[in-house]
Structure 1
């Protein structure tokens, strides 16, 4: 007879037999139970292992069934490949890497519709920075590798939503604002695994969404507070026999804490599922339409006068996405499972960016406009018709330009994977083989309109658009068609040498093809291919039932993006993300990572104690960085040799019915390993050049991160808590030579409380940045002569530092109804 599954007292879970071990695949998790479960059970899609039976006969009595349940141990599944199916993966005790994950309950406790906030709280190596100046478009940095929405940021993390890679096709950017946060079931940060394909240099972020099998009932959650914030989400899930439905709708309006930083978010996610004892299928769809004011970094001289200051606006983003994903999983035999998916994703982004300009009256004839007139000789500034532009601006005007871009990408893809759990040589073994294909077609366009910069740093357009302005620089219109085709073939195997010792090995072959077609001329035409096999090997040893050791080695690669390939020549720089020209090819980045550590759990009188400590070292060969040109506002991408990121991570969790406590520390040491010279606006630059030496630290990567949080149930209905974040100092971007003073570290404290009025209604509130700490998460340098300091009578700025200020103290309150 098939064994019987129990989980938390529930019957009816499906059973998968692996040799002499029975795995119980848990179906629906009741929403109320999930919200009060331990942090671990919230985090990982749970399956439960039944201890090998001593008799072939099932238990006949209720007492015997309870005894059998006590002998079962719970096994948490950790993803081993980017598949859309919850529960696909391996026993977390056999993962030869650090385990980092958060669940729906942890996300809900933040009260935020931004998944980045939860990841920063719960994952030791993660911090976020507001490079764009908008908290809904953060950079997420893990171990010194970044997943960012900013075009031109070298991306080092692969991000998946239900098995679909959501790094956008043109620049591998990640728009975190497009992920419907209320609909997230779990997020895992995976390391030491090349199966996650391109960009997984530092790891991969794997987002699994809810469906009607694991979420039952409904919820409406509304919150409002400081800076004009009002947000609301609604979700509903239901299972009817073998069919499930789930839907989530979210909306946010926020005026922002800085001028021109309004945000409007509208997101929907839906899922329809069907399953039998041996199969499961899902169709999920989503749409989003979001608008942002992206205020970016601002000179510190302006912040000293007003914390909400901005510099050269407008800076706006309009993001839209629509996607559909069809996935399925079939147990072909008791030991073979086939799963796959097919998807389509349409993404559109429009940006408007007010900037200083290199266009100015010609020295020889002030009645004409020239480009880069400070250089000798300056190039004529031409209009769209190729004719040199006359100067219509008064002598007192401060000239600027409005850069506009449009990106339209359509990506399609499919994944197929087979998993076998037959024993090998009498030992438990899990073998997985899969393939994936993704194709992206992008239409990219850019234009530049001349204008004037007012005393509030707002750029007003003049209706005059720039055309080709002469070699070697061109800031004329761009129309480009880029085609990406990414193919991967991977295989992974986990073999139990003994009951305590398991080894894992495998790898993935990646093939990337990038084709560029210039739709105006021929300069941007190009065809590039990249290929590589990335291996991995690792092992885990269960020293005691409560202590596991792990170690692993892996490799990963990143192919240059179309954006990088079209802007890679220091002699012919571009306005990054806007104006592209033909350039030499770039080499792909290859990362080699080794990590090792210990983790364990222990039952104490006061609750369950979980802990982990580990170390890692990742070395990148032919790393790609975005480097500034000697021309202000221009830059290029270049291979800069080898870089290294290494460090340690430690975390402690204590979970009981009334108390949840966590604390973590991460050290990330990121350095250049080769010498190079780069342009910089650093005050220590000589003729605009700084010398980078081996051992210099990479900017924008803080060395130390400390996190702490607590939740305490004063009564069954009333809960209070708080969290703290301490981040060390970091070097300014542009200070690769490490000569200037660093951007100071910061500490932030937050408080929250909730009261359950009755079974249906809960009120809650939170205070962010309790002590109103004024700090910045990102810093760079700018050309102080670009635009006058209007707050100082029009004189030049004297301090080249420019930073992204963080949010001041904020108060929020909300009401949640569940039914």
Structure 2
């Protein structure tokens, strides 16, 4: 939510100049207002060689947007006026505008329906929510968005998680948030986030950027791109150290992305790779009673995570004939996640105080050898445990797509057919080390590990091997009935096979297959050259993840992503979406005014939710909860002028349960059995109904720019309050400002202030067991308030310098 001069961002899709490649850096200090055109790099066939300066060549041709999960080329795109859905586009300039190495900051700022929160307590591990569907790095979060990078699905294999920290932000040339399209395959319930990276054909020159400021933030990035005739190379390197405003929440980010490409008149090939090694202190939610005493407080720690990734992708396209283009990709991805999470424990002293029991004072707590553990802890010690997990995944796959542009019955027509396949092998291990919780809520390990314990809970160490095989074939056709009216139809068949192999016993063994065909139908109509109406219907499905399949029994809850148990199978989720809207633009004396207005309704059958256990603090399970519905309105206006850029948007999201059911809950309103009763029409927690965004950029002089942005988010129910009985988490409004000064053609200094008014607010709330750990800050008394929240970052100041060559 930080700002620099914006050239093209948040524009109505009917006017949006969606480029076939990212815009290279413009001459410093130059504000541009582009017409509705495609911006492309110099043609590879040019004998003059690439331009030294990063000045884009503007080509007058149709506005193209990429609505297929492939590497972007002019052949795979489609005129944006013919897309029967809402598409939100964020380019490299809008990302740079934030001066943030979190791409989710730009998405929250520019896309009306997107909201981020820090449920993990770390700004580099945000939940991204779009229309009430989530793409999250937190294991156990039911995911609802498919995320692609250069045509490769990057939802991780074991839990469909999305680790935004692994994506080098400086290397991103564009992000599209696409709805109403089953071509993106599994998990695109609410839509898909399609990330395209820079290469040496569309980025020329070099840039160095360094920034520092509040809470020990130091960050730097470097990128370089060069084209020589038909060959091009690009590389980006980023690093961040941030101490965090909360205790134990430091972050260290290191990541690299590179691309080597070749292009001729009829073909283009790229080999790109990336690596990252990131470490986080994930402070998670904190009881409000602690937060009132110290805004940097944490509750039970250590909570750390280490993400590593290495990937290699090959993409290529060739024009087989003047009207047939074939595109293909192959990818290999290695991912490792290690976590340590200090928690309260279900282990307690037995009636015989020399022994340890689990969940009561009679059931033995066993060691790894199956023998009941002796009690080594002093009287009065508060017991806890350090839960450790390791997830290693290897994914290999590929895709093939063909596009035909032959006329049909004398009318323009675009036919696309494609297929994809990926196979992932994951190895997951988990263990729990018993320890004691000190007055600083730090869990100190004892070296004693918990073995199989508890009835009926059946908690124990886990060693699991899973195999995911995902395949799909799709076909879509866009036919121009008239020059103004176009219709699109097609669909995709998805198949998913998930195999679980218990490496300790047989309890976790399983083999599930999910198949489904998802259709799409829609149309667009140009009412006037500057006004387009659209409407469409589509379906999508999500197969349960290995994590969810291994933890689906209310009688056997799990520490999510730590202990898995033998569970009944889950049904796949099926989403049916209908949306309609209008988008347009007009030329005013001041500049170009654009707007869009749309409405949507997405109904999920057999939706999956994470249900907290009413019996064990920190435990939970996954369950199909019948039908749910997310519906709403999205509106946006923009004004683009040579010295002034304005945008404002509003999103209304209404998310509700449609069926009556009783589920377990840690809500303070749960009954004696730990259950709450959901009634049809109850709102789904953690989804605010209203989101208002606005921002501006103003060029005071050619060198001096200022701007600001604002975000308002309405109240939301706490997670666990599915019956809507507790007071809501409060609404919040936050304001940010920025400025930059171009010293000369190459050097720019910039600064920004986040949360100018130093508003103290929370972006996420849930409940906790008040008697699990004493309130040490209040003399060891029991907590009295069951609310636990993720506080947002207070006022922060940052400044930096950019040097371009």
Question: Which TM-score applies when normalising by structure 2?
Answer: 0.94
> 2:21 touches 2:198 (CA, 8 Å); kept in 1?
no
Structure-2 residue corresponding to 1:750: 736
Structure-1 residue corresponding to 2:661: 676
Q: CA deviation at 1:610?
A: 1.4
Q: CA deviation at 1:74?
A: 4.3
Structure-1 residue corresponding to 2:48: none
- Superposed CA deviations along residues 668-693 of structure 1, whole A, max 9, x for unmatched, are 00000001112222222221221110
The structure 1 residue matched to 2:445, chosen from 461, 466, 474, is 461
The structure 1 residue matched to 2:64, chosen from 77, 80, 101, is 77
Whether 2:461 is the aligned partner of 1:494: answer no
The structure 2 residue matched to 1:32, chosen from 26, 34, 37, is 26
> 2:650 touches 2:691 (CA, 8 Å); kept in 1?
yes
Whether 2:520 is the aligned partner of 1:536: answer yes
Q: CA deviation at 1:26?
A: 6.3
The structure 2 residue matched to 1:234, chosen from 205, 209, 222, is 222
- Superposed CA deviations along residues 679-714 of structure 1, whole A, max 9, x for unmatched, are 222222221221110000000000000000000000
CA shift in 2, pair 1:738/1:668, >3 Å: same
Structure-1 residue corresponding to 2:12: none
**Structure 2: distance between partners of 1:379 and 1:590:** 41
Q: Report the RMSD for the aligned CA atoms in angstroms.
A: 1.8
Gap runs ≥5 in structure 2 = 1-6, 8-16, 42-56
CA shift in 2, pair 1:114/1:190, >3 Å: same
CA shift in 2, pair 1:37/1:504, >3 Å: farther
The structure 2 residue matched to 1:125, chosen from 98, 110, 113, is 113
CA shift in 2, pair 1:37/1:620, >3 Å: farther
Stretch deviating more after TM superposition (78-87 or 259-268): 78-87
CA shift in 2, pair 1:27/1:509, >3 Å: closer
**Structure 1: distance between partners of 2:215 and 2:18:** 48
Structure-1 residue corresponding to 2:189: 201
Q: Secondary structure in 1 aligned to 2:245?
A: coil
CA shift in 2, pair 1:462/1:308, >3 Å: same
The structure 2 residue matched to 1:601, chosen from 581, 585, 588, is 585
The structure 1 residue matched to 2:250, chosen from 250, 258, 262, is 262
> 1:354 touches 1:403 (CA, 8 Å); kept in 2?
yes
> 1:360 touches 1:371 (CA, 8 Å); kept in 2?
yes
Q: Secondary structure in 2 aligned to 1:105?
A: helix
Stretch deviating more after TM superposition (76-85 or 570-579): 76-85
> 1:406 touches 1:446 (CA, 8 Å); kept in 2?
yes
Whether 2:433 is the aligned partner of 1:440: answer no
The structure 2 residue matched to 1:698, chosen from 667, 670, 684, is 684
**Structure 1: distance between partners of 2:683 and 2:666:** 18
Q: CA deviation at 1:406?
A: 0.1
> 2:18 touches 2:63 (CA, 8 Å); kept in 1?
no
The structure 1 residue matched to 2:560, chosen from 571, 576, 584, is 576
Structure-2 residue corresponding to 1:139: 127
Whether 2:325 is the aligned partner of 1:340: answer no
Question: How many residue pairs are counted as aligned between the two chains?
Answer: 772
> 1:369 touches 1:391 (CA, 8 Å); kept in 2?
yes
Structure-1 residue corresponding to 2:377: 393
Q: Secondary structure in 2 aligned to 1:117?
A: helix
**Structure 2: distance between partners of 1:211 and 1:615:** 36
CA shift in 2, pair 1:743/1:273, >3 Å: same
CA shift in 2, pair 1:333/1:152, >3 Å: same
Structure-2 residue corresponding to 1:718: 704
Question: Which TM-score applies when normalising by structure 1?
Answer: 0.92
Whether 2:531 is the aligned partner of 1:547: answer yes
**Structure 2: distance between partners of 1:690 and 1:613:** 38
**Structure 2: distance between partners of 1:193 and 1:33:** 38
- Superposed CA deviations along residues 716-741 of structure 1, whole A, max 9, x for unmatched, are 00000000000000000010000100
Structure-2 residue corresponding to 1:59: none
Gap runs ≥5 in structure 1 = 1-7, 9-22, 49-68
CA shift in 2, pair 1:24/1:749, >3 Å: closer
Write out the 4+ residue segments of structure 1 that deviate beyond 3 Å after TM superposition: 23-30, 33-42, 44-48
> 1:45 touches 1:86 (CA, 8 Å); kept in 2?
no
**Structure 2: distance between partners of 1:84 and 1:447:** 41
**Structure 2: distance between partners of 1:437 and 1:695:** 39
Whether 2:465 is the aligned partner of 1:471: answer no
Q: Secondary structure in 2 aligned to 1:301?
A: helix
- Superposed CA deviations along residues 294-348 of structure 1, whole A, max 9, x for unmatched, are 0000000000000000000000000000000000010111100000100000000
Q: CA deviation at 1:237?
A: 0.3
Q: Which has the higher contact order (CA 8 A, sep 6+)?
A: 2
Structure-1 residue corresponding to 2:509: 525
Structure-2 residue corresponding to 1:650: 635
**Structure 1: distance between partners of 2:22 and 2:489:** 33
Structure-2 residue corresponding to 1:306: 294
- Superposed CA deviations along residues 220-246 of structure 1, whole A, max 9, x for unmatched, are 000000000000000000000000000
Q: Secondary structure in 2 aligned to 1:380?
A: coil
Q: CA deviation at 1:36?
A: 5.5
Residues 22-421 of structure 1 mapped to structure 2, 5 A cutoff: 29-32=23-26, 46=39, 74-87=61-74, 88-362=76-350, 364-373=351-360, 378-421=362-405
CA shift in 2, pair 1:503/1:116, >3 Å: same
Q: Secondary structure in 1 aligned to 2:160?
A: coil
CA shift in 2, pair 1:35/1:483, >3 Å: farther
**Structure 2: distance between partners of 1:154 and 1:91:** 34
CA shift in 2, pair 1:615/1:37, >3 Å: farther
Q: Secondary structure in 1 aligned to 2:773?
A: coil
Q: CA deviation at 1:470?
A: 3.4
> 1:708 touches 1:723 (CA, 8 Å); kept in 2?
yes
Q: CA deviation at 1:78?
A: 1.6
Structure-2 residue corresponding to 1:774: 760
**Structure 2: distance between partners of 1:40 and 1:118:** 20
Q: CA deviation at 1:47?
A: 7.1
**Structure 1: distance between partners of 2:694 and 2:661:** 39
Q: CA deviation at 1:155?
A: 0.2
Structure-1 residue corresponding to 2:467: 483
Structure-2 residue corresponding to 1:556: 540
Q: Secondary structure in 2 aligned to 1:515?
A: strand
- Superposed CA deviations along residues 329-387 of structure 1, whole A, max 9, x for unmatched, are 1011110000010000000000000000010001x21110000016xxx4200001111
> 1:474 touches 1:579 (CA, 8 Å); kept in 2?
no
- Superposed CA deviations along residues 86-117 of structure 1, whole A, max 9, x for unmatched, are 44321110010112010000000100000010
Q: Secondary structure in 1 aligned to 2:370?
A: coil
Structure-2 residue corresponding to 1:667: 652
**Structure 2: distance between partners of 1:37 and 1:423:** 40
> 2:432 touches 2:449 (CA, 8 Å); kept in 1?
yes
**Structure 2: distance between partners of 1:78 and 1:777:** 33
> 1:159 touches 1:167 (CA, 8 Å); kept in 2?
yes
CA shift in 2, pair 1:235/1:373, >3 Å: same
CA shift in 2, pair 1:202/1:486, >3 Å: same
CA shift in 2, pair 1:39/1:179, >3 Å: farther
Residues 629-644 of structure 1 mapped to structure 2, 5 A cutoff: 629-630=613-614, 631-644=616-629
Q: Secondary structure in 1 aligned to 2:170?
A: helix
Q: CA deviation at 1:75?
A: 2.6
Q: CA deviation at 1:471?
A: 3.0
> 1:47 touches 1:77 (CA, 8 Å); kept in 2?
no
Q: CA deviation at 1:477?
A: 1.1
The structure 2 residue matched to 1:765, chosen from 744, 747, 751, is 751
> 2:23 touches 2:92 (CA, 8 Å); kept in 1?
no
> 2:30 touches 2:702 (CA, 8 Å); kept in 1?
no
